[in-house]
């Protein structure tokens, strides 16, 4: 596992919210950099802020990537996001997530096949859990909280909705006989996981990046064996 081709969104990029500056930044302490130091591997990071799995898949199949190493696919955070402004404008209308769940699932299967067609083993990653309360406050900061809550029913619905996408990643990994790094479970195992999230309730902070690094290092042997068996 000397080279990792990492495909994902802002989490994989290392984007965190800097409360002092009041804006998003890319932290030098992101897990992709830490893994290079901890494991002596090369991480080629193809992640993009705001990316969804369909966009990542299209870029992957068009990219001239040299075979070698493994391809890590880490999406779901933006895919499950809702059009909050539209929700606020008409809370009685049914809204679709940026990537509807059936399309998310099918694209993951397509991604896995495309990776294998290029002679590389895929590894899927679940998204860390969010803090529904913080995230609700964040997305409704310029909207009517009461109206958005009317659509949701309860704030915890945001957590359950995001969880469906994590479950989908696990199910695809099992069905496609693909290796899985369950980042979500690594966070849920930590009783203080909420402390590893930024003020927006969805991006992980530097402590969160350190948690992911520790979890990958701890699971390195099992992940390597899985990739060898399933490639």
Between CA 152 and CA 48 the distance in angstroms is 29
Structural domain boundaries, residue 180:
3-81+99-136+163-230
Please check whether residue 151 lies inside any domain of the structure.
no
CATH code (residue 32): 3.40.50.1110
Which residues have C-beta within 8 Å of that of residue 130, sequence separation ≥ 6?
Answer: 158, 159, 162, 197, 201, 202
Residues 210, 100 contacting (CB under 8 angstroms):
no
Q: What are phi and psi of 133, to 5 degrees?
A: -65, -50
Please check whether residue 54 lies inside any domain of the structure.
yes
DSSP for 37-82 reads HHH--EEEE---TT--HHHHHHHHHHS-PPS-SEEEEE--TTTT--
Please check whether residue 41 lies inside any domain of the structure.
yes
pLDDT score for 1: 52
Please check whether residue 194 lies inside any domain of the structure.
yes
Please check whether residue 146 lies inside any domain of the structure.
no
Please check whether residue 114 lies inside any domain of the structure.
yes
Mean pLDDT, residues 20-26 taken together: 95
Please check whether residue 158 lies inside any domain of the structure.
no
Please check whether residue 128 lies inside any domain of the structure.
yes
Q: What is the pTM of this model?
A: 0.93
Mean pLDDT, residues 2-30 taken together: 95
pLDDT tens digits, 142-189 = 999 999 999 999 999 999 999 999 999 999 999 999 999 999 999 999
Q: What is the domain count for the chain?
A: 1
């Amino acid at each position: 596992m000397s080279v990792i081709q990492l495909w994902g969104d802002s989490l994989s990029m290392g984007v965190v919210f800097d409360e002092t500056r009041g804006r998003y930044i890319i932290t030098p302490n992101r897990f992709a950099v830490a893994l290079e130091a901890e494991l002596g591997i090369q991480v080629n990071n193809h992640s993009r802020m705001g990316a969804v799995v369909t966009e990542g898949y299209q870029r992957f199949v068009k990219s001239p990537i040299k075979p070698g190493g493994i391809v890590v696919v880490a999406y779901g955070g933006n895919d499950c996001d809702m059009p909050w402004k539209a929700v606020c404008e008409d809370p009685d209308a049914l809204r679709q997530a940026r990537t509807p769940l059936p399309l998310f699932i099918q694209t993951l299967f397509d991604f896995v096949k495309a990776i294998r067609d290029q002679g590389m083993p895929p590894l899927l990653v679940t998204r860390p859990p969010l803090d529904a309360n913080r995230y609700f406050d964040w997305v409704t900061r310029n909207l009517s909280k009461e109206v958005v809550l009317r659509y949701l029913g309860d704030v915890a619905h945001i957590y359950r909705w995001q969880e469906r996408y994590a479950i989908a990643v696990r199910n695809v990994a099992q069905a496609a006989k693909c290796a899985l790094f369950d980042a979500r479970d690594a966070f849920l195992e930590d009783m203080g996981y909420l402390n590893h999230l930024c003020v927006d309730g969805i991006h992980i902070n530097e402590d969160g990046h350190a948690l992911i690094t520790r979890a990958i290092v701890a699971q390195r042997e099992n992940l390597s064996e899985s990739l060898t068996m399933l490639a």
